[in-house]
Amino acid sequence: MSVADNIREIISDYGYKQKSIAEKAGMSEKQFSDLLNGRKTFKAEYLPSICIALNKSPNDVLNYEKER
């Protein structure tokens, strides 16, 4: 899975709103959507702010596995 896939899974699993995470990460909803859907290249520089918005460590996001 890609980082974007993991982020989408976290948003879904925790019931977050994509718009809320985008705003907390300092992005517009469109920019965030473009990142998650591969229309914009996901750069490492985006990860810290997204992790803060998700309240997850980079390691948690990069290695996310749904809890069973």
Q: Indicate if the alpha-carbon torsion angle 39, 43, 45, 46 is positive or negative.
A: positive
**In the chain, what are the domain boundaries?**
3-62
Residue type, position 29, single letter: E
Residue 68 has pLDDT above 90, yes or no: no
CATH fold of 3-62 reads 434 Repressor (Amino-terminal Domain) (1.10.260)
Residues 10-48 have pLDDT tens digits of: 999 999 999 999 999 999 999 999 999 999 999 999 999
Stated pTM of the model: 0.89
